[in-house]
Amino acid sequence: MSERNQPASMSGGMPQRSTSKSMFLVLGGTAAVAFVAGFMLQFVRPAAGQAQEKSAAAPGKATVTGTKNEAARYLARITNGKQIVMVSYDEVAHECMLRHGNEVLDNIINRKIIETACENQNIQISEAEVDQEIVKIAKKFNMSVSEWYNMLQAERSVTKAQYRRDIIWPMLSLRKLAGEDIKISKNELQQAFLKNYGPRVKARIIVSENQRRAAEAWEMATQDPQNIPANFQAAVNKYSQDAGSRALGGAIPPIPQFSGNPLSEPLEKAAFKLQPGQVSSVIQSGQQFVIILSEGRTEQVVQSIEEVQDELIAALKEEKTQHAVAETFDRIREVARIDNFLKNETTGGPKKPVATGTGTGQPAPRQPGAQQAAPGAAKPAAKAAVTSRPGAAAQR
């Protein structure tokens, strides 16, 4: 290798956990969701009791009369000769709800869940803490804070206010909720060194989704020990179902150790047991069956862990923090009861025992004097919904 391997986790980013999909909407947002959240907040229906003035236009004139409140209720006016058509706030808000209502509501719910958890533990995030985190992130990319904000706006359509409220504030809050006492063991440090800077196995593979065909491929690849490279290539062309590696004769990027991917673990262990020119047995990885041909190992450029120890520790702390943040969000979301009236579903909250019933497929009879909630009504939650905005100082 002419260049040292770079730690995969150095780029930061949010936790990669399939169980935290909702979490990503809060932390990474998408730019679209963050934008819509801000956009929707502008279209609040007029409060009850406001004057509902009628608009009128003189024949032949494209004008709207009435109070300022009335004018503010409209977003557009279309004039076609003497005919005037107005586009109201309500019409636009309804259309936004149809298109983006679920995403925006999920974003707000997630933010409120984090907010209430912080209030329960007396955790606060100051505006100075938000500033400090943004400075640190911008510095990672060799940008000033203003350049970072401009990049977010230009490439992600995320405004400064949205970034502070919907991304940085939740991230800092969850870090405090998770606890910041992150420790790195010597074993973790050594594995990270081998993963990012250790030698890797140069390899070719055959991938099949059928165990029988994989066995046939192995027989073809190993039938002549004196001509394994050519036979392996022929087996790749005939049997491999991975189009990307098959087009390259089975070649794949060098295999590291301790990648952290459970599906890769059996492949990594098998690859590092092979001598150059050896073929592995058929290895099951998830739903696939893989055969590896070793072509030797890459050169280890960084020989001493001390050379990269500081950056490895920083990367490991960031990675463990991300996992802790994701797990914390899963935990606080699970214990919070969410009655989502838009989706007509309820999730989370304390687990209740299932009624035994009568054995006839009918629900158990209601006890005398028991009150029955009206259909669709929300049951009492453990804590009333909080109406204050999260990180108020950070939102100004």
Q: What gap in Å lies between CA 196 and CA 316, rounded to an integer?
A: 12
- pLDDT value of residue 353: 53
* Residues 250 and 206 sit within 8 Å (Cβ to Cβ): yes
At residue 349 the predicted structure's pLDDT band, cuts being 50, 70 and 90, is confident
CA angle 135, 138, 142 (to 5 degrees): 125
Greater confidence, 334 or 27? 334
Q: Tell me the DSSP string of 246-286.
A: HTTTTEEEEEPS----TTTHHHHHHHTTPPTT-B---EEET
CB atoms within 10 A of CB 305: 16
**Is 231 within the bounds of a domain?**
yes
Whether residue 105 contacts residue 342, with contact meaning beta carbons closer than 8 Å, is answered with: yes
CB 62 within 8 A of CB 77: yes
Please tell me the predicted confidence (pLDDT) of residue 57.
37
> Has residue 140 been placed in a domain?
no
Classify residue 15 by burial, with Cβ atoms within 10 Å: 0-12, 13-18, 19+.
buried
Per-residue pLDDT at 27 exceeds 90: no
Q: Is the pLDDT of residue 309 over 50?
A: yes
Q: Confidence class of residue 47 from pLDDT cuts 50, 70 and 90?
A: very low
* Other residues' Cβ atoms within 10 Å of the Cβ of residue 309: 13
Q: How far is residue 163's CA from residue 141's CA, in Å, rounded to a whole number?
A: 16
pLDDT computed for residue 183 by the predictor: 87
Structure token digits, residue 23: 């979490």
75 inside domain: no
**Domains: count for the chain:** 1
Mean pLDDT of the 158-162 span: 93
Q: Give residue 191's pLDDT band: very low, low, confident or very high (50, 70, 90).
A: very high
pLDDT for 171 beyond 70: yes
DSSP string, 225-253: GGGHHHHHHHHHHHH---HHHHTTTTEEE
Contacts 24+ apart (CB under 8 A), 56-65: 57/84
274 within domain boundaries: yes
Q: What is the mean pLDDT of the chain?
A: 77
**By residue range, what is the domain housing residue 231?**
199-297
Q: Does the residue 218 lie in any domain? A: yes
- Segment 260-286 shows an average pLDDT of 94
* The residue type at 210: N
In a domain, 258, yes or no: yes
Q: Is residue 389 part of a domain?
A: no
User: Residue 233 CA to chain centroid, in angstroms?
Assistant: 39
Inside any domain, residue 282: yes
**CATH number of the domain that residue 236 is part of:** 3.10.50.40
pTM of the predicted protein model: 0.56
Residue partners of 175: CB distance under 8 A and separation at least 6: 321, 324, 325
Q: Cβ(104)–Cβ(367) under 8 Å?
A: no
Interacting residues of 218 by C-beta distance below 8 A, sequence separation 6+:
206, 235, 279, 281, 282, 291
Q: Which amino acid is present at 8?
A: A
Check whether 102 has a pLDDT greater than 80. Answer: yes
